[in-house]
Amino acid sequence: MAALNYTIHGNDLQYVQVNLAPGEAFMAEQGAMMYTDQAIEMRAILGDGSRSSFAMIGRLFKAIKRRFTGESMFSSVYTNQGLSAQDVAIAAPSPGQIVPIQLHEQGGTLICQKGAYLAGQVGQTIALAFQKRIRVGLLGGEGFIMQKISGEGTVFVHASGTLKAVELGPTDSLKIDTGCLVAMSSTVRYDIKYTGTLKTSLFGGEGLFYATVAGPGRVWIQSLPMNRLGQIILKAAVVGQSKGSIWGKLYLMFIIVAVIIALVGK
């Protein structure tokens, strides 16, 4: 597979600009396009476009499984129909970093958190990666299902906050907050451990469990998971309303009452 010509722009709200040669194609998550040059043709495909021995039924089943990984059932493929190089730009869905990963450096397979996939070269497939241990599935931040991205070339995943890549040797291990793990090589072993004591679990602020990863392989860690960011924004909104004027407090009370009435009505 030919090397991809791309440039990542921005710091906190990034986008990747891909320069496609005539006839070259690129695949991205549905709704991620920022802009394209005139000669770029976009078409929607079911799932990742990979073939199945069960024809259309098989492709539909793959698309449904893809939906469980946090991605859309359809992908967008951008093809350069012109006679010269053309650009397509794909934007990140939230504040953070776009991470380019060479699949051949990871043995052709990458394990990611749900919804991490952003874009990649045509021919790459996204499938379910089940956690084999029930404990990991129930207590790990990503549940039973993670993404398994396979194929060749460059794949782009999105991480929230600042990203750190760590190379683990055969005897190396690392403790990670369960929501901060973005991606890992298929050779990395993943488990869930108890934080230690009841006092630490209740008052340490880090929850009851943390993830452990053991080499060999590489792991990518994000500094600000989206669920943590959402909690910060929600807390700030509620506290901001409570510290505001009487009208702000009445507005907040009105919202709470409206939600209660809606729930009772159901």
Same domain, 34 and 157: yes
Contact partners, residue 64, CB within 8 Å, separation at least 6: 73
pLDDT at position 207: 56
Instruction: Tell me, rounded to whole angstroms, the distance of Cα 160 from its chain centroid.
Output: 9
Same domain, 142 and 247: no
Contact partners, residue 145, CB within 8 Å, separation at least 6: 68, 69, 114, 128, 129, 130, 131
The amino acid that residue 103 corresponds to is: L
pLDDT at position 244: 52
Q: Is the pLDDT of residue 120 over 90?
A: yes
What are the pLDDT digits (tens) for 215-265?
999 999 998 877 666 666 666 666 655 555 555 566 666 666 666 666 555
127 pLDDT tier (thresholds 50, 70, 90):
confident
Over residues 53-59, mean pLDDT: 58
Phi, psi of 250 (to 5 degrees): -65, -40
Domain count, the chain: 2
Ordered strands of the 5-9 beta sheet = 5-9, 15-20, 86-91, 33-36
Same domain, 233 and 155: no
Same domain, 37 and 112: yes
SS3 61: helix
pLDDT at position 62: 60
pTM for this one? 0.76
Q: How long a stretch of residues is the chain?
A: 266
Same domain, 84 and 168: yes
Same domain, 186 and 234: no
pLDDT at position 145: 66
pLDDT at position 87: 98
Residues 148 and 109: beta-carbon distance below 8 Å: yes
What are the pLDDT digits (tens) for 64-84?
565 555 566 688 999 999 999
Over residues 42-46, mean pLDDT: 88
Domain of 240, in residue numbers: 228-265
What are the pLDDT digits (tens) for 14-35?
999 999 999 999 999 888 999 9
